[in-house]
Structure 1
Amino acid sequence: MRKSVFYFTIFFLIVNVVGQHGLTDQEKWKVSFSDLNITIHMDEEAQSKLKINLFDEQLKGSKFRLKSEKTHISTVPDEYIHLNGSSWEGYVLVKGVFLGKTKICVELILSNNQSEISSNCQDIIVIRKMRIIDHVFTGSVALLVSLLYINFGAALDLSVLKGILKKPVGPAIGCFCQFILMPVMSYALGYALFATDINMWLGLFFTGVSPGGGASNMWTVILKGNINLSIVMTTISNLGAFAMMPLWIFTLGKTIFDYGDLKIPYDRIATFAVSLVVPLLIGIGIQKFLPRIARVLSRLLRPISAILIIFIIIFATVTNLYLFELFSWQIVVAGLGLPWLTYCLSWCVAKLLKQNDIDCLAIAIEAGIQNTGIAIFMLRFSLGQPEADLTTVIPVSVAIMTPIPLFLLYLVQKVRSCRRNAKGLQEIENDNE
C-alpha cells in the first residue's frame, strides 16, 4: 500500500512539473492575426490586427515585439509592448520596403531576457504599383515579339531549309546545344547560384529554355560565320520552342516551382505558346499570298530583332530602375555565365564533331544568344506579382552581358585584319624597293 502511495506521489509530481514547464509554445501562448497575409505596395503602410493570449501564469508581465523575417522587404516599428494581463489586442503598422515576400512574427521577451518566436506568423507580400509606363512596356514587348514572329514566318525559306537538312550535322549540333545543353546549364547554374532564391533561379531557367535570339544572325554576319546555317538554326529553334519550352518548364522546371512552393501556371504558359503560333501563321500566310509584302518583311527581320534586343535593354532599364537594386554578384555571374559558357561549350562540341570554323562560330553564337524578349514576356505573362517583377532581372542581366564577348571577338578580328593589311603593305613596299 505504501509503495502504491509512493509511486502515485512520484507520478503526480512528474505530471505537475511537466504541466508547468513542459508546455509547448502553442500551449503557453498563442498569436492570432486577423489576416493570414497582407499585400502592400512599396513605400506604403498597412495596419494588421494582432491578438496575443497567455496560458502560462509565469509569462504574465512579459513583453513582446514584432520582427520582420526580411527587413529589406518589410519593416515593423522596433518597439516593445508590455503584457500586464493574460491577453493583448491591437493594431500594428507594417511598411512595404521592396519587392518580395516575408513574414512578420511575434517575439516574446521573458523575464530572464530569453526570447521565444511565435509559431504563427503573418505572410507579407510587397508589390509595385502598376504605372502607365509598365503597361506600355509589357504591351510593347508583346507587340515586338508578335512582329518578330510575323516577320519570321514571312522570311521562312523552305528551300534553304531543305538544302541544309540534307546534311543536318550542323543543325543537329545546334539543336542539341539549344534544346539540351542550354536548359540543363541554366538549371544547374541557377541551382549553384540561387538555391535559396527561387525567383532568380526561375528567371534564369526561363531564359535558358527560350528560343535563340534573332540577333544571332546579325552577329554571325558581323563575325563572318555561316549565315545560312545560322538562319536554319534560328528557324528550327523558334519552331522547336513551341514544344520544348513547355516540355522543359513542366518537367525540370517543375522542381523549381516545387522548391519555392509555387504552382505552375499551366494555363498561362499554354496560352503563351499558342499566342506565338498565331503571328507565325500570319507570316507564313503573307509569304504564300502576298509575296511582295513578304519580301519587305524579310528584309525587316534582322532590324526588328536588333530593335527588340536594344529596346529590352534600354526600356527595361529606364522603366524598371529597381532592377539595379536587385543586382548582386550572383546575378552578374548568372548574366555572364549562361551565354559565355554556352559559347565555349557549343564551340567545343562542334569542333569535336569536326565542323569547320565558320560553322562552329555560327553554332556557338546561335546557342549562346537567347531571345530575352520571349523570356521577359513569358515571365510577365505567366507569373503573378511580385514574382513577375523579381524574375525579370535575370533576362535583363543576360541581355546586357551576352554581346560583350562577341564585341571583344569583333575587335580581335579587326586588330588581326589591320595587322595583316599592314604586313601586306610592308611586303609590297619591300618588293618595290
Structure 2
Amino acid sequence: MNEPNSCVDNATVCSGASCVVPDSNFNNTLSVVLSTVLTILLALVMFSMGCNVEIKKFLGHIKRPWGICIGFLCQFGIMPLTGFVLSVAFDILPIQAVVVLIMGCCPGGTSSNILAYWVDGDMDLSVSMTTCSTLLALGMMPLCLLIYTKMWVDSGSIVIPYDNIGTSLVALVVPVSIGMFVNHKWPQKAKIILKVGSIAGIILIVLTAVVGGILYQSAWIIAPKLWIIGTIFPVAGYSLGFLLARIAGLPWHRCRTVAFETGMQNTQLCSTIVQLSFTPEELNIIFTFPLIYSIFQLAFAAIFLGFYVAYKKCHGKNKAEIPESKENATEPESSFYKINGGFKPDEK
C-alpha cells in the first residue's frame, strides 16, 4: 500500500524502554537527559520525604498494619476491579482492555508521597504503603492479571518486568531510609531538607508531565473511549480509596493518604510492561493510555490539593484537618493506637 510520507514520518517507533518520535536527535538527547535528571531528582525528593518519616511510627505501621491492609485492598482490589468494570462498560477492544487492566494492577507511584505531604497526610503511612505495594506487586500483579485478563488474552503473554519493580523498590527504600536516619539524628536540619524537597517534588511532577508530552508527541492519536476511561479511572481510584478508608474508620488525614496512594499509579511501570508485551503495530493504538492516565491523575490531584489549600485558608489552621476525632488530639505520643487509629472508629 502506498501511504503518504507524512504518515510514515510521524509514526511512533518503540524500542526497548523508549517510545519516541524517530529520527530526531533532539528527542533522543532529551530522553537521555530526562531519564538522568528525573532519576537524580526522584532520589533527592524521596530522601527529603524520608526526612518527614519517624522510625518509630513507620515501624508501628508495619507491626500493626491496619492502614496498610486498607491500602492493599484498595491498590490490588479496587483498582483492578475498576479497570475491569470500565473496560466492559465501554466495550473497548481486547488489547485496549488489557492495557487498562495493566494500569489498574500496577503498584502506587512515588508521586503519592509528595502529594500526601502537601495535603497534610500521614507520611509514615504513605511511605509504608508505597513500599509494601511495590514489594507485593511482584506477586499481586501476575495474580490480578491472571484473574481479570483471561477473558481477553493469555496472561502469560504479558511480560512483567520484575527487574524494573526491584529497581523501583531500591530507589524508594534507600533514599527514604537515609532520610529517616537524618530525621532521627538531626531533626531540625531534616525540616529544612523537607521544605526544599517538597518544592522539588512539585517541580519533578510538572517536569515529567511537560517533557513527557514533548517526547511522546506523535502518539496522541488514540480511541476516544480510552480518553474517557483515562479521565474516569484516576478519579474513581481517589474517590473509592477515600471512601473505603473512611468506612474502615481511619481518621481524615489517613483517608487522604489512602486516596492518593490508591489513585496515583506507577505509570512508568505500566508503559514499560506495555512496550515489552506488544508489537509496534499494537502499540500504535494503546501506548498513549498510560500517558493519558498520568496526565489526569496529576490534574485531578492538583484540583484536590487546591480545594484542600482553600479549605485550610478559610478555616485559618496551620495544619488543618477536616475535623479530626478527639482521640487524635489527645492520644499520648508513645501510644501505638495513635499510629493506627483505624483499629477504632473515630468518635463523632
TM over 0.5: yes
Higher fraction of strand: 1
Equivalent positions of 1:8-407 (< 5 A) are 43-44=4-5, 129=22, 131-132=24-25, 135-136=28-29, 148=42, 155=50, 159-196=56-93, 198=95, 200-258=96-154, 264-266=157-159, 269-273=161-165, 276=168, 306=202, 309-326=205-222, 328=224, 330-407=225-302
SS at match of 2:280: coil
Measure how far apart 1:257 and its partner are: 2.9
Assess if the C-alpha contact under 8 Å between 1:202 and 1:391 holds in 2: no
Q: Provide the aligned C-alpha RMSD in A.
A: 4.2
* SS across alignment from 2:220: helix
Distance 2:27 2:269 in 1: 17
Distance 1:253 1:153 in 2: 37
* Structure 1 residue matching 2:153: 3-state secondary structure: helix
Q: Which residue does the alignment assign to 1:76?
A: none
- 1:349 & 1:213 partners in 2: Cα distance? 20
Asked which structure has the greater CA Rg, the reply is 1
Q: 2: CA distance between counterparts of 1:373 and 1:334?
A: 18
Letter in 2 for 1:195: I
Per the alignment, do residues 303 and 166 of structure 1 end up closer, same or farther by CA in structure 2, a change over 3 Å counting? same
Deviation at 1:390, TM superposition (A): 3.6
Name the structure 2 match of 1:67. Answer: none
Structure showing the higher helix proportion among its residues:
2
**CA gap 1:401/1:206 in 2 versus in 1, 3 angstroms:** same
Q: How far apart are the structure 2 equivalents of 1:379 and 1:189?
A: 19
TM-score, structure 2 normalization: 0.68
CA 1:216–1:96 in structure 2 vs 1: closer, same or farther (change >3 Å)?
Answer: closer
Larger RCO (alpha carbons 8 Å, 6+ apart):
2
Could you report, residue by residue, the CA deviation over 1:252-271 in whole angstroms, capped at 9, with x for unpaired residues? 3354434xxx97154x6345
Opposite residue 188 of structure 1, the aligned amino acid is V
Deviations along 1:30-63, one digit per CA (max 9) or x if unpaired, are xxxxxxxx9x9x7449xxxxxxxxxxxxxxxxxx
Counterpart residue number, 1:83: none
Alignment check: 8 A CA contact 1:312 1:373 kept: no
Please give the per-residue CA displacement for 1:213-260, whole angstroms capped at 9, x wherever unaligned.
2221222222222222212212212222233233333553354434xx
- CA change 1:220–1:153 in 2 (3 A) is closer
Work out the CA distance in 2 between the residues paired with 1:141 and 1:248.
32
CA–CA distance in structure 1, aligned partners of residues 177 and 115 of structure 2? 29
Give the letter aligned to residue 359 of structure 1: R
Taking a change above 3 Å as real, the CA distance of residues 269 and 410 of structure 1, as seen in their structure-2 partners, is closer
Tell me by how many angstroms 1:180 deviates: 1.6
Q: Post-superposition shift, 1:136? A: 4.9
Distance 2:137 2:200 in 1: 19
Alpha-carbon deviation of 1:158?
6.0
Q: Is the 8 A contact 2:34 2:211 kept in 1?
A: no
How big is the shift at 1:340?
A: 0.7
Secondary structure at the residue paired with 1:344? helix
| Number of aligned residue pairs | 299
In structure 2, stretches of 5+ residues that fail to align are: 14-19, 317-348
TM-score, scaled to structure 1: 0.56
Contact 2:46 2:172 in 1 (8 A): yes
Alpha-carbon separation, structure 1, partners of 2:59 and 2:260: 22
SS of corresponding position for 1:225: coil
CA distance in 1, matches of 2:21, 2:198: 34
Using the alignment, how far apart are the partners of 1:350 and 1:335 within structure 2? 23
